[in-house]
A and B are shown apart, each in its own frame.
Chain A
Amino acid sequence: MFRYVVRRTLESVLLMLGVLVLVFFMVRLTGDPVSLIIPMDAPMAQREAFREMMGLNEPLIVQFGSYMLDAMQGDLGTSLRRRGEANLDIIMVRLPATMQLAFAALAFAVLVAVPLGLAGGMRPGSAIDRVARSVGLAGQTIPSFWLGMLLIVLFAVTLGWLPSFGRDGFSSLILPAVALGFAGMGQLVRLTRSAVLDVRRADYVRTARAKGMQGARVSFRHVLPNVAIPIVSVLGIQFTYLLGGSVYIEVVFAWPGLGSLLESAIRDADFPLVQAITIFISLFAISIHLLTDLLYGVLDPRLRRS
């Protein structure tokens, strides 16, 4: 177990360093950042002053070195539009809103998908199974941001039950969480259903039934614990996906999180901030993956040895 933890942690640290390198060159290789930010017709002196201020006069390798050193000390640069404000501070202010939305979306997905997939998988071909399969398919075919707009039209504009934008209490969380969690819910239903289909043919389930154990007890005592392992293993991936998907949903619902911050940073051509958000979200995602992998190792001892 110890070696497994050390190996996975080292892998994650390497990936994080890789992300820092990749993001730096992704932004630099595409041309002169100055021309992306300062208008082409701006006076030469202004362009040069900006170049000087951003440290873009230094050789690339020097820029890269100081960028890496800063990043490893938790310094992700300063925003262009909000002079002097550290990118990390701006991100930290927005982070709780995104976390709240992502966790709510994940909770919605799990609470709907797991019971539905379990019920459908235990009785293949039944009415509840048809519902489960339809929900699974709908998750693959309905774009989240479009669903978000439909929910606004129905529940906010037409019925007037829930607010259509902003972050103001629980009622404002419902629509964005449903829209964001919908695709993941579809995937989880399919996964749970097919895991149940596999498990219910297993010897220990057949034995339980042969002993006369009834439906619900079999589900909770024997099927669910074994289905939990594949579900936990995709939750980390799901969460990463939600972080990305939140960009669209936060824009639709004007949710004041990291996603809408990224969108406005792009609109303002605030490149240092775009770079910082990308790095932050990626490092965050890598950490989540590491945590779920370690948790997975605890749940399933077979994995530690491989």
Chain B
Amino acid sequence: MSKTVAVQLQVNGATHRLEVEPRLLLVHALRDNLGFTGTHVGCDTSNCGACTVHMEGRAVKSCTVLAVQADGAQITTIEGMASDGQLHPLQEAFWNDHGLQCGYCTPGMIMAAAALLAENPNPTEDEVRHGLEGNLCRCTGYHNIVKAVLDAAKTKGATVAQQPEVTA
């Protein structure tokens, strides 16, 4: 193994210190090193968006970020979206509207949608469709995903990630 680098990640409010190879992707650090397996990998060209997480409040494709680049950053993953057993409005809307089938793209889709609503709390259908074009879904044909995002936008609290203020 090549030289490792010390990295500190704040994931869903908790601090994690780890030693990583400089080439380790953030998505693998989250999944393999820290066990946040809700974030998925669907391609190797940053097209599918299954790996979308929030870094410092912005949606990033964590397959395109090195763990070392995320040193010191606040990361939110799908596991950080529900708090105290209360689903995030987007999670609730995806459930209500059948916005998922196999569920593989869903965490990335929800994280991308949350970032979209944070920037644009009342999007049109067209804005939702263009806002999610970096996330691929093969099951739903997008119909119910778009519906879910539009429905979530009508719900109070949909524009913030419900990240608990916890430090470990």
A and B bound?
no
A: which residues have CB within 8 A of B? none
